[in-house]
Structure 1
Amino acid sequence: MAAMIIDGDDMDRISELPEAMKLEILSRLPEKDGIEMSTVSKTWKSLPISYFSFTRRTRHINSIDKSLAILHEDQKRIIHYFRVWRIVAESDLIHVDRWLNLITKHIIREIVLDFSFHCESKKYRFPPTRFDVGSLMVLKLYDCVLEETLIQKDNGFNRLKELTLFNTDFDGVVMDLLSRSPNLETLILKPSRGSINKYIY
């Protein structure tokens, strides 16, 4: 693909766009390009972009709450990824609801939830509430239950490229999800009982 050259007049016109439109443009760029644009260009440098990844090193719920506090501001943000890796005890799953309700008010590109250390008796139910799935590009769920509220008649998964449902209950939901994901490239499915299947489109 040929490089696109933007002259000074074009850049001035871009800088005059509403912030919501500039966020939409930036959210459509690959992550690497988005980072470069937001750090190099004065036009994009002030736009709010966030990355959240919580692993076993994140020991306390309060630490995550503090990290996410910026999302309580009125300004809408691009969240390139929100990842929670095996750090929440079963009794604390209610906090995950709270975090997801917060991040899904913004433009979210990737969600990874790994609760594979939990017992079978209490899996996390995703999503806790309806949200705009149109910006979602990656969804990975481990030891969860996929809820029907994820499927919305008026909103498809037009940007979803990678879907992983590992040891996750998705009966009655996954076919609708796939039919609404025209750009899906990688699909990994392992139901709670059964063998893993991988399809690459």
Structure 2
Amino acid sequence: MAGTSMQTIRREDDEDYMSLLPECLIHHIFSFLTMRDVVKTRVLLKRWRSVWTTVSDIKLSVFCYADYRFVDEVLTLYARRKVKKFHLDVRLFRVCEHIIYSWLHFAVDHQVEQLFLNVDTWFKCWSLPLPPFLYDCSSLTELQLRTCHFSSHESISWSLLKSLSIGTVSGDVLRNILMGRPALEYLNLIGLQGVKQIHSRSLRELVIDVSLVDCPLEISTPCLLSLRVSGARFHEIIETFEAPSLVEAELDIDGPAKLDCCLLKELPHKLQNAIRILIGAWCLQDSFLLPGFL
């Protein structure tokens, strides 16, 4: 009996300590959890029953159709006026576009700042059309999109956007994105279709997968500090490169030795302003075949 009483007292003491935690600290702890795990914490303490409804970061995963209902319930009970981070990862055989749009509408209505969206289905040729209201989300500062495609007819109002990571994009869309974006500092391009130019006066960091680029590129970025390129066609794809402020270039080259040797011969010319050049293991191995390079 004494042991049971001590356990009860210890449990009550633990609850008292947890009850004293400030809400900002609880939210910080929740930021490391998925939304499903965050919701489970409501059984720990009476005070925590509603704390989860005011988190600033929402991380949602939809891996089965039963998750649709869970997401709807979470968003219905959410009590905060603004959302800082909205992370939506959908991986299903087939998706209901209008449901995903309703979740994205929730994020836009709550003035989301950082949005991550991945929609993956078994249909590899399919991608989610971005809804028109997302182009007008002026609160965005960071945007990551996977398996989504843009409309070239929509105007884009992302005046506060600082970081953008997108999949395959066309020349018209990229031009529309870069035009009048004074805050954009980071750009990650996973694939380009018909893009011939990348011109930006605000970019500080540029990441490109050149294995998914279909035509030569002219890059003009006077304020660029960092360039990261992956793929085996750097010397073919990047035709003109103007970046007088460049500090560091990182090349993750995975291709035949012949291509790498051609690449290495052109590196000093195309990256002449870089203070430091980092190259991948394959490329580094072949560089010893070129006298005077290293």
The TM-score with structure 1 as length reference comes to: 0.60
Aligned match of 2:164: 163
Deviation by residue 1:24-49 (Cα, 9 ceiling, x = unmatched): xxxxxxxxxxx57x99xxxxxxxx66
Is 1:195 equivalent to 2:211 in the alignment? yes
Pairwise CA distance, 1:135:
1.3
When residues 64 and 158 of structure 1 are mapped into structure 2, their CA distance, relative to the original with a 3 A threshold, is same
Alignment of 1:7-18 (within 5 A): none
Q: Contact 1:111–1:139 at 8 Å: present in 2 too? A: yes
When residues 60 and 116 of structure 1 are mapped into structure 2, their CA distance, relative to the original with a 3 A threshold, is closer
Q: Which has the higher contact order (CA 8 A, sep 6+)?
A: 1
Identical aligned residues as a percent:
19
Aligned match of 1:92: 96
Give the Cα–Cα distance (whole angstroms) in 2 for the partners of residues 183 and 196 of structure 1.
Answer: 26
Q: 1:111 aligns with which of 104, 108, 115?
A: 115
Q: Contact 2:63–2:90 at 8 Å: present in 1 too? A: no
Higher Rg of the two aligned structures:
2
Pairwise CA distance, 1:151:
2.2
Pairwise CA distance, 1:170:
4.0
Q: 1:62 aligns with which of 41, 45, 69?
A: 69
Pairwise CA distance, 1:90:
2.3
Name the SS of the counterpart of 1:176 in structure 2.
helix
Give the Cα–Cα distance (whole angstroms) in 1 for the partners of residues 83 and 154 of structure 2.
Answer: 19
* Alignment gaps of 5+ in structure 1: 1-34, 40-47
Aligned partner letter, 2:70: S
Aligned match of 1:101: 105
Aligned match of 1:24: none
The TM-score with structure 2 as length reference comes to: 0.43
* Alignment gaps of 5+ in structure 2: 1-23, 29-53, 194-209, 214-225, 229-245, 247-294
Aligned partner letter, 1:133: C
Pairwise CA distance, 1:149:
6.4
Deviation by residue 1:95-141 (Cα, 9 ceiling, x = unmatched): 11111122212211011111245423321011343564221011111
Deviation by residue 1:130-166 (Cα, 9 ceiling, x = unmatched): 56422101111111111246524xxx42221110112
Give the Cα–Cα distance (whole angstroms) in 1 for the partners of residues 140 and 153 of structure 2.
Answer: 15
Give the Cα–Cα distance (whole angstroms) in 2 for the partners of residues 101 and 67 of structure 1.
Answer: 14
Give the Cα–Cα distance (whole angstroms) in 1 for the partners of residues 192 and 120 of structure 2.
Answer: 11
When residues 65 and 135 of structure 1 are mapped into structure 2, their CA distance, relative to the original with a 3 A threshold, is same
When residues 56 and 133 of structure 1 are mapped into structure 2, their CA distance, relative to the original with a 3 A threshold, is closer
Q: Contact 1:100–1:128 at 8 Å: present in 2 too? A: no
Q: 1:50 aligns with which of 51, 56, 62?
A: 56
Aligned partner letter, 2:73: K
Give the Cα–Cα distance (whole angstroms) in 1 for the partners of residues 94 and 139 of structure 2.
Answer: 29
Aligned match of 2:271: none
Q: Contact 2:92–2:120 at 8 Å: present in 1 too? A: no
Name the SS of the counterpart of 2:71 in structure 1.
helix
Alpha carbon RMSD of aligned pairs, Å?
A: 3.4
Q: Contact 1:138–1:160 at 8 Å: present in 2 too? A: yes
Name the SS of the counterpart of 2:188 in structure 1.
strand
Give the Cα–Cα distance (whole angstroms) in 1 for the partners of residues 161 and 86 of structure 2.
Answer: 15
Q: Contact 2:92–2:122 at 8 Å: present in 1 too? A: no
Give the Cα–Cα distance (whole angstroms) in 2 for the partners of residues 121 and 102 of structure 1.
Answer: 27
How many corresponding residue pairs?
Answer: 152
Q: Contact 1:52–1:81 at 8 Å: present in 2 too? A: yes
